[in-house]
Amino acid sequence: MLLAISSFRCRFVVLAGHDFRERKGMGDYRLYCLNGVGKFTKAHDIAAKNDDEALALARQMKLPVKCELWERDRMVATLDAHKG
pLDDT digits (tens, 9 = 90+) for 27-64: 799 999 999 888 999 999 999 999 999 999 999 999 99
What are the C-alpha distances in Å from 40 to residues 17, 30, 34, 37, 46?
A: 29, 12, 4, 9, 17
77/18 Cα distance (integer angstroms): 23
32/2 Cα distance (integer angstroms): 20
pLDDT digits (tens, 9 = 90+) for 62-79: 999 999 999 999 999 999
pTM of the model: 0.69
